[in-house]
């Protein structure tokens, strides 16, 4: 907590002193259906209706949500220090509330209903910030989610709050709470619009559910095209409910705004039905369905030219209506194979024939089948000529040797064959090249691409030379395939260029490509991007204030590419402690840690101050004399415990850093004398 922590009574002073100067850690992401539904910070104050502060959350969504690993967190209006109250492992059902009990300012007011989770956080009655987080690590800075986590809901209340959704919620008081509208259902992402001040009304998991309405559309399995006799309905959501229907390829003819409508379907295609049902408290849910019509249509992408053994472009059959299906078949004129006969965008590979007719048949659960046809005309070459078809065009030709044309094509001579899939080039016959699916050329193949090995750099750093080979024929260049961005130096066509990282966490794949416009080969280099260290905030599982002679442990959370090394310091000077992320100490002072890793620069955490209180005097009430009046304070410390303070430590008569039954003897000795 910051120096603006609201301590409600003297008995909370030790808690406040312990929180002032306690640094909190970042954290990990999840649902938007669970929201903060009520905030009350006046518990126990004068005129308060309840003895304790509380935070209430509510599941306004349609599905159960586990609260395991979640927390509610609080910070004063302008503070950046957040107090964390972990939630229990409850599966919060739709419409169910969850009550978190917090600190009390006194005995004024009634007891809360049984809390589902409890904390010791003092909430301001008039201005502050409350966050629902899917982690038990504290929110960082003023209002940022812990690393890897999500702030699921945020309420800033009072005009001085420095973070909120939209605008701050109104300022409550000792007698009023901020309550989310419609019993928690309303969420416009604007605290000002969603919350109003009113009498506190704490609800727990045992309270009556504020459940969502039921939303299941009942409709006929088929719609009658161009007819007004089609019906759809959802269950009645009760008095005050609203029903907002949206129809696609149809119009409502009766019942708009009710739970049961009559509509006219369009001339073709399926009908889309969608409705949002809201009950009288404002909770809403949307459901939808598609209803096919009794009109079935078949269309396709049209005729095309192809070579035997080469795959066509997608055939372009239309999508069947909802619940229907489609199928490609060879109708006449030859043979061939489909790569996915039930998909409109299937490809077809002809194996024989000169004019092959293909049929696309569309079926619907509501009406008769429909079919359409297209023709694949086969372009053929004589005397061993190679049929070449530019993909998805209507143009094909025969590839011939230099000096020949038309049908005078040969098969026995050698040339350069570029194999598909980046497999490289081979010197084989034209017929062999064609059988392998390659592209034949009389140009020389480019040099097979080779590169140096993988490299590792720091973020923003530069590699050594990448080791590409110089091309014998054609041109070459470096490019970034994936994983980030950067620049090549002196330029991307130099085989041994270097690469400077600009963005992306990698691994970055760099590609060296050799090409002569007909054939292409490539090879890749993998560049690993290391990151410099980053240390978050130091936490101390033990207290930051202890009695003299005791000890506490500080823990640092760091990231970056390792191995990581930890240099613990007190007052800016190295302690020479063990190279690890924890430090146990009992010496007062300001502590931080410097973390180094595989990359520079080093990272320094923010500091946390350890305070020691002297112990053993016994004069807990600071009267100057150890007497019977101090016995009650010692007994209270034994029974209640508490964070160390000057008073608490004074009761440690045997100076063992713990106030326990063994200190009573010391009091008796002092009171009775030697």
Average pLDDT over residues 447-469: 88
- Number of Cβ within 10 Å of residue 667's Cβ equals 20
Report d(CA 329, CA 606) in Å as an integer.
72
pLDDT band per the 50, 70, 90 thresholds, residue 17: very low
- Give residue 413's pLDDT band: very low, low, confident or very high (50, 70, 90): very low
Mean pLDDT of the chain: 83
- Is the pTM higher than 0.85? The answer reads no
pLDDT, position 364:
83
- 159 and 242 both lie in a single domain: no
Query: Residue 550 has what pLDDT?
Result: 82
Residue 421's pLDDT is what? 62
The answer to which of 20-24, 235-239, 262-266, 409-413 has the lowest mean pLDDT is 20-24
Asked if residue 35 and residue 117 are part of one domain, the reply reads: yes
121-136 confidence digits (pLDDT tens): 999 999 999 999 999 9
Residue 26 has pLDDT above 50, yes or no: no
- Tell me: do 79 and 189 sit in the same domain: yes
Would you say residue 409 has pLDDT above 90? no
Query: Domain range for residue 142?
Result: 10-198
Q: How many separate domains does the chain show? A: 7
Structure tokens at 308: 């035997």
Whole-number Å distance between alpha carbons of 505 and 379: 50
pLDDT in tens, 51-62: 999 999 999 988
Q: How far apart are CA 142 and CA 161, in angstroms?
A: 10
Q: Which two tokens stand for residue 604?
A: 């320094």
The average pLDDT across 245-274 equals 91
Same domain? 338 vs 390? no
| Rounded CA separation 171/589 (Å) | 39
Confidence of residue 10 (pLDDT cuts 50, 70, 90): very low
Taking 50 as the threshold, does the pLDDT of residue 484 lie above it?
yes
Range of weakest confidence among 170-174, 234-238, 596-600, 638-642? 638-642
Q: Which residue has the tokens 């094509």?
A: 409
Q: Which residues contact 38 (CB under 8 A, 6 or more apart)?
A: 54, 55, 56, 177, 178, 179, 180, 184, 200, 201, 202, 203
Q: Could you tell me if 600 and 654 lie in one domain?
A: no
The upper half-sphere exposure of residue 582, i.e. CA atoms within 13 Å in the direction of its Cβ, equals 7
Instruction: Give the C-alpha separation, 165 to 170, whole Å.
Output: 13
Query: For the segment 283-300, what is each residue's pLDDT rounded down to a tens digit?
Result: 888 899 998 887 788 899
Please state, in angstroms and rounded to a whole number, the distance separating the CA atoms of residues 172 and 194. Answer: 14
- Higher pLDDT: 541 or 498? It is 498
**pLDDT for the residue numbered 382:** 54
Highest mean pLDDT among 163-167, 269-273, 445-449, 557-561: 163-167
The answer to whether position 637 is within a domain reads yes
Q: What is the mean pLDDT of residues 304-327?
A: 87
Q: What is the 3-state secondary structure (H, E, C) of 150-206?
A: CEEEEEEECCCCCCCCCCCECCCCCCCEEEECHHHCCCCCCHHHHEEEECCCCCCCC
Measured distance CA(309)–CA(59) in Å, rounded: 60
Q: Are residues 520 and 661 both part of a single domain?
A: no
Q: In this structure, are 349 and 467 located in the same domain?
A: no
Kindly state whether residues 165 and 115 are assigned to the same domain. yes
Paired residues of 558 in beta bridges = 535
Q: What's the pLDDT score for residue 392?
A: 72
Listed range (188-192, 523-527, 546-550) with the worst mean pLDDT: 546-550
Q: What is the pLDDT of residue 423?
A: 61
- Tell me, yes or no, whether 139 and 44 share the same domain: yes
Q: Is the pLDDT of residue 429 over 70?
A: no
Instruction: Name the domain boundary from 579, 613, 647.
Output: 613
Domain check: are 393 and 491 in the same one? Answer: no
182-228 pLDDT per residue, tens: 899 889 999 999 999 999 999 999 999 988 888 999 998 888 778 78
């Amino acid at each position: 907590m910051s120096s603006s922590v609201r301590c409600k009574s003297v008995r909370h002073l030790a808690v406040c002193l312990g929180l002032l100067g306690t640094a909190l850690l970042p954290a990990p992401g999840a649902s938007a259906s669970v929201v903060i539904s009520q905030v009350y910070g006046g518990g126990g104050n004068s005129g308060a209706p309840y003895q304790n502060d509380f935070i209430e959350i509510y599941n306004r969504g349609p599905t159960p949500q586990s609260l395991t690993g979640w927390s509610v967190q609080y910070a004063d209006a302008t503070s950046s220090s957040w107090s964390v109250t972990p939630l229990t492992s409850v599966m919060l059902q739709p419409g169910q509330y969850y009550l978190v009990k917090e600190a009390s300012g006194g005995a004024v007011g009634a007891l809360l209903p049984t809390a589902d989770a409890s904390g010791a956080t003092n909430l301001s009655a008039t201005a502050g910030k409350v966050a629902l987080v899917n982690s038990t690590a504290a929110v960082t800075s003023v209002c940022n989610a812990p690393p890897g986590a999500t702030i699921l809901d945020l309420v800033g209340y009072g005009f001085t709050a420095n973070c909120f959704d939209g605008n701050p919620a109104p300022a409550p008081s000792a007698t009023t709470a901020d309550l989310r509208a419609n019993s928690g259902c309303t969420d416009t992402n604007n605290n000002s619009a969603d919350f109003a001040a009113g009498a506190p009304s704490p609800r727990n998991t045992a309270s009556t559910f504020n459940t969502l309405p039921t939303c299941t559309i009942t409709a006929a399995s088929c719609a009658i095209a161009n007819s007004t006799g089609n019906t759809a309905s959802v269950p009645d959501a009760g008095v005050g409910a609203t029903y907002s229907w949206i129809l696609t390829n149809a119009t409502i003819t009766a019942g708009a705004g009710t739970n049961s409508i009559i509509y006219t379907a369009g001339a073709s295609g399926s009908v889309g039905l969608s409705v949002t049902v809201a009950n009288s408290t404002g909770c809403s849910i949307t459901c939808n369905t598609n209803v096919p019509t009794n009109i079935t249509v078949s269309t396709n992408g049209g005729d095309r030219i192809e070579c035997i053994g080469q795959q066509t472009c997608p055939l372009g059959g239309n999508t069947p209506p909802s619940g229907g299906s489609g199928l490609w078949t060879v109708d006449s004129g030859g043979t061939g194979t489909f790569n996915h006969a039930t998909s409109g965008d299937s490809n077809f590979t002809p194996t024989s024939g000169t004019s092959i007719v293909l049929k696309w048949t569309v079926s619907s659960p509501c009406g008769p089948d429909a079919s359409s046809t297209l023709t694949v005309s086969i372009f053929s070459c004589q005397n061993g000529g190679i049929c070449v078809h530019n993909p998805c065009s209507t143009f094909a030709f025969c590839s011939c040797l230099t000096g020949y044309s038309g049908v005078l094509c040969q098969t026995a001579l050698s040339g350069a064959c570029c194999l598909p899939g980046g497999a490289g080039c081979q010197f084989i016959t034209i017929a062999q090249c064609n059988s392998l699916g390659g592209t034949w050329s009389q140009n020389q193949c480019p040099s097979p691409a080779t590169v140096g090995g993988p490299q590792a750099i720091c973020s923003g750093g530069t590699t050594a030379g990448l080791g590409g080979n110089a091309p014998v024929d054609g041109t070459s260049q470096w490019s970034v395939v994936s994983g980030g961005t950067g620049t090549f130096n002196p330029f991307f066509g130099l085989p041994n260029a270097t690469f400077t990282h600009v963005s992306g966490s990698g691994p970055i794949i760099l590609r060296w490509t050799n090409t002569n416009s007909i054939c292409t080969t490539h090879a890749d280099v993998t560049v690993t991007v290391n990151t410099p260290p980053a240390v978050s905030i130091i936490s101390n599982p033990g207290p930051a204030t202890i009695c003299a002679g005791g000890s506490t442990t500080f823990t640092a959370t760091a990231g970056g590419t390792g191995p990581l090394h930890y240099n613990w310091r007190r007052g800016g000077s190295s302690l020479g402690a063990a190279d690890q992320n924890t430090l146990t100490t009992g010496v007062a002072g300001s502590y931080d840690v410097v973390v180094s890793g595989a990359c520079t620069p080093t990272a320094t955490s923010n500091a946390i101050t350890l305070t020691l209180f002297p112990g053993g005097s016994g004069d807990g009430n600071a009267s100057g004399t150890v007497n019977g009046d101090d016995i009650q304070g010692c007994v209270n410390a034994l029974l209640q415990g508490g964070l160390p303070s000057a008073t608490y430590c004074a009761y440690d008569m045997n100076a063992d850093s713990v106030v326990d039954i063994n200190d009573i003897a010391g009091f008796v000795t002092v009171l009775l004398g030697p």
